[in-house]
Structure 1
Amino acid sequence: MKVKICGITDLDTALAAIECGADALGFVFAESKRRITIEHAKKIIRLLPEDLLKIGVFVNEQKETIEKIVEDTGINAIQLHGDESPDECTGFSTPVIKAISIGTAKDLLKVDNYGCEYLLLDSPKGKYRGGNGTAFDWSVAAGHRVKGKKVILAGGLTAENVSKAIGMIHPYMVDVSSGVELDGKKDKGKIKRFIDEVKGRKRNGNLHYAR
C-alpha cells in the first residue's frame, strides 16, 4: 500500500516523510493554509529522490500555468482538485490525478468520465478543496471498483482509522494531510505512526497489518 503525505512546505518534513516510507509528497499551489510558492517548492524538490512521486495540487488553474510550474519545479505528477471537466484533464506532460468529491453514491458515477491514470476520492469541499480533515462515508464507495485507474483515498484519514478505510475501499494509495498535523503543522511522530499503520509494520512486538 502506497502513502502520499500532502501539504509539504519545508525540506525537513519532506525528508522525514521519505525516511518513514512515504511514496509520494504533495505540494499545494492552490489557495490553502499549506500553499507553497513555486520557488520554495523548486528548492525542496531538487533535493528529493528522482523516482519519488512529487505531486503538484491545483484548483481550476490554467493549463499553461500548470505546465510552467511543472517545468520550473520538477514535480512529476499533477492533481486537479477543482471543477475540471474530463477534457480539461487531458494533454498534460505528466500523469494526472483527478480528485472527485464523494457525498453520495451518485458522485461515483463521475469517475468513469475521466481518462486519467489516477482518481482521488475525497470528502466534499469545505473551506478549501482538500485537507479539511473530514472523511466521507466510506460505505458509499465500498465495493466500487474503477477499471483501468489507480484509486487514491483521501479525506479525514488518521493512523487510527486508515486501516478500516483501506479494508473498505482497497485503494492503490492513501493520502493524508491534516491527519498527520499537530497545531496546524506536520508532525514527524504522526507521520511515522500513519505510515507504519498503512505499511503494517511491527510496533511494541506486535505485527499490525493494513489490508
Structure 2
Amino acid sequence: MSDNPMQLLSGPAAGDDERLATLHAALVERASTDSAVDATYRVVDSPVGSLLLAATENGVLRVAFEIEDHDRVLESLAASVGSRILRGGHRLDPLARELDDYFAGRRHGFDVPLDLRLARGFRLAVLRHLSEIPYGSTESYAEVAVASGSPKAVRAVGSACATNPLPIVVPCHRVVRSDGSLGGYLGGLPTKQRLLALERAA
C-alpha cells in the first residue's frame, strides 16, 4: 500500500482503466462460453440509428431499434429469458459485421444462427416465411398469410410483423399492403422506406 495519501485518493492510475476493460471483456467472454449468462448484448450504430443486438448461446435473439427504447427492451428480455444479461463479449461480432455489409449493399441475407424463442405459433410460422422473401422484393400481408398456412389471418400477419423480435435480419420490412402502400413498421415508416430503397438500389 502506498504511504502517499494523495495517491490513495486520486483513484486508479491511467493504465488501470485499460486493464479493467480487458478484464471485463475476458470475464464476459468466459461467462458467455460457460453459459453463466442468459444473454449478452451490445449497441451498434447504423444508418437507421442505434441498434441493440442481443444473443443467447443458441443464436441472435433480438434486434431493437432506438425508437423501441433499449432499456425497456432489456427489461423485457430479462423477464422472458432470464435476468443474467451482460453487455459485451464477442458473441455478437458476426452479426455486427453482417449488418455493416448489409447496409453497405454487400450482403443480401444473414447467416448468423437465430434464437426464435420469442415467437410462437402462427407468429413463428410468419417469421420463418419472411426470411424466404427475396432481397429487393416485397409480398403483401395477404400473400404472407397464405404462405404461412392461414389465408384468412391477414391481421395476424400484421401483428407478427409488428412484434418481430429480429427486424432487418428477419425482413418484415418486405411486407406491404395489397395496394402497394407500406403499412406499419416497428422501426417507423422512414426506416422501412430506407431499407426498401437500399435493397432496390443494390
- Normalised TM-score (structure 1): 0.24
The structure whose residues are more often strand, as a share, is 1
**If you compute each CA radius of gyration, which structure gives the higher value, 1 or 2?**
2
The structure whose residues are more often helix, as a share, is 2
